[in-house]
């Protein structure tokens, strides 16, 4: 039985990935800081559900605490590490940038050190569509330059990619970075748009709509995302013999077993259409509070997911109406509304 260490198993995406890998017969070891960035009870409930499976175990600890993380790695000897834990949220990075440096740079370095010392088969790490920053040519392709990050959150994620490449090159450590695009679904984070919109509409409180709703996002349903990650575990990058060996469209590094992969729905959805899907599912209109563009935000994100399809044979495709319906059902059940 293969062992996968996942950082951030009490988080939204980590919980869903752990659940999927357990269903697929992996042994999963979780590591989570259980920070109070949002309601810790939600995180505890996710872990409680995972702990019902005998092949799941977990440790509470911060990414910055290298000794605790290293001890866990030495005890459990994972074959694969999937690094999802991070200080999340674009907007919070304006208020507390140091939290992002600590978790996303120092913490990621600690994870890479553990992966190097263990000699894991594959290190997979979460990046974000935010690294494309001010790029305007869409859909975003992994092979295009991404040097114009607009927030400290995005900058720390790009730093993680750069550090990952150096470790792949120096230590022949296979590294895959996946860039997420606006993930949503059941057990989501309370600071995310779908959660806030659903809560506001049900409670008859105004919802803030930035840039007057003139925004587009590539909304990716969480189960689609984690299916993509699970498939990428087996798509281990190999250092190419020569740059000519790299297939067209592949982001594989010419000098390292390192690759960047978009995981998105390949569908650009207008924010107002997304809100209308939520209103339709809830059966009531939102009280809309139109706002100017938020500092550091981008007007649009849109993924080209062809590389994911080439590597795994899979492409996310859940329609937003179906995904929103599943979230609303979970929200009503969880909060009894």
Average pLDDT over residues 49-58: 98
Is the bond into 139 cis (omega within 30 degrees of 0)?
Answer: yes
Contact 188, 327 (CB under 8 A): yes
Checking if the pLDDT of 89 tops 90, the result is no
Tell me, what's the pLDDT at 327?
Answer: 97
Which has more pLDDT, 173 or 302? 173
Which pLDDT band, with edges at 50, 70 and 90, does 233 fall under? very high
Give, as one character, the DSSP assignment of residue 292.
Answer: P
* Choice among 37, 100, 153, 221 that is catalytic: 153
> Which residues face 183 on adjacent strands?
220
Nearest Cα to Cα of residue 114 among 157, 85, 71, 166 = 71
Tell me, what's the pLDDT at 146?
Answer: 95
Tell me, what's the pLDDT at 4?
Answer: 98
Average pLDDT over residues 196-216: 94
Tens of pLDDT, residue by residue over 261-291, are 999 998 889 999 999 999 999 999 999 999 9
Checking if the pLDDT of 90 tops 90, the result is no
Tell me, what's the pLDDT at 222?
Answer: 98
Tokens of residue 65, six digits: 């605490």
CA 130 to chain centre: 11
Across the chain, mean pLDDT equals 95
C-alpha 29/C-alpha 43 separation (Å) is 16
Which pLDDT band, with edges at 50, 70 and 90, does 91 fall under? confident
Buried b (16+ CB within 10 A) or exposed e, 49-82: ebeeeeebbbbebbbbebebbeebbeebebbbbb
Tens of pLDDT, residue by residue over 291-320, are 998 888 888 888 999 999 999 999 999 999
Tell me, what's the pLDDT at 82?
Answer: 98
Tens of pLDDT, residue by residue over 102-129, are 999 999 999 999 999 999 999 999 999 9
Tell me, what's the pLDDT at 94?
Answer: 83
Tell me, what's the pLDDT at 169?
Answer: 98
The sign of the torsion formed by the CA atoms of 130, 58, 188, 311 equals positive
Tens of pLDDT, residue by residue over 133-148, are 999 898 999 999 999 9
Tell me, what's the pLDDT at 295?
Answer: 84
Tell me, what's the pLDDT at 268?
Answer: 86
Average pLDDT over residues 37-46: 94
153 a catalytic residue: yes
Tell me, what's the pLDDT at 117?
Answer: 98
Superfamily for 3-335? NAD(P)-binding Rossmann-like Domain (3.40.50.720)
Q: Is 294 left (phi over 0), alpha (psi -120 to 50) or beta?
A: beta
Which pLDDT band, with edges at 50, 70 and 90, does 219 fall under? very high
């Amino acid at each position: 039985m293969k062992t996968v260490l996942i950082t951030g198993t009490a988080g939204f995406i980590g919980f869903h990935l752990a659940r999927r890998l357990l269903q697929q017969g992996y042994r999963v070891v979780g590591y989570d800081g259980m920070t109070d960035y949002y309601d810790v009870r939600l995180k505890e409930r996710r872990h409680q559900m995972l702990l019902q499976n005998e092949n799941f175990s977990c440790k509470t600890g911060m990414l910055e605490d290298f000794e605790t993380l290293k001890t866990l790695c030495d005890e459990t000897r994972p074959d694969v590490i999937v690094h999802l834990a991070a200080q999340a949220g674009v907007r919070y990075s304006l208020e507390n940038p140091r939290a992002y440096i600590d978790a996303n740079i120092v913490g990621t370095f600690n994870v890479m050190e553990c992966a190097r010392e263990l000699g894991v088969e594959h290190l997979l790490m979460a990046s974000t569509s935010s690294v494309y920053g001010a790029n305007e040519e869409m859909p975003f392709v992994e092979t295009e330059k991404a040097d114009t990050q607009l927030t400290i959150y995005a900058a720390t994620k790009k730093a993680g990619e750069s550090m990952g490449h150096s470790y792949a090159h120096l230590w022949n450590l296979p590294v895959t970075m996946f860039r997420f695009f606006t993930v949503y679904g059941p057990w989501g984070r309370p600071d995310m748009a779908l959660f806030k919109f659903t809560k506001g509409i049900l409670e008859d409180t105004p919802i803030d709509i930035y840039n007057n709703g003139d925004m587009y996002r590539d909304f990716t349903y969480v189960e689609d995302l984690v299916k993509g990650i699970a498939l990428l575990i087996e798509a281990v990058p190999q250092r190419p013999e020569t740059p000519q060996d790299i297939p067209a469209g592949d982001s594989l590094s010419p000098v390292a077993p390192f690759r960047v992969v978009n995981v998105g729905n390949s569908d650009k959805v207008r924010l107002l259409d997304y809100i209308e899907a939520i209103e339709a599912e809830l059966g009531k209109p939102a009280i809309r509070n139109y706002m100017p563009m938020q500092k550091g935000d981008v007007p649009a994100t849109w993924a080209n997911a062809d590389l994911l399809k080439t590597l795994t044979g899979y492409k996310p495709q859940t329609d937003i109406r179906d995904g929103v319906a599943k979230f609303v059902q979970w929200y009503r059940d969880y909060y009894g509304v």
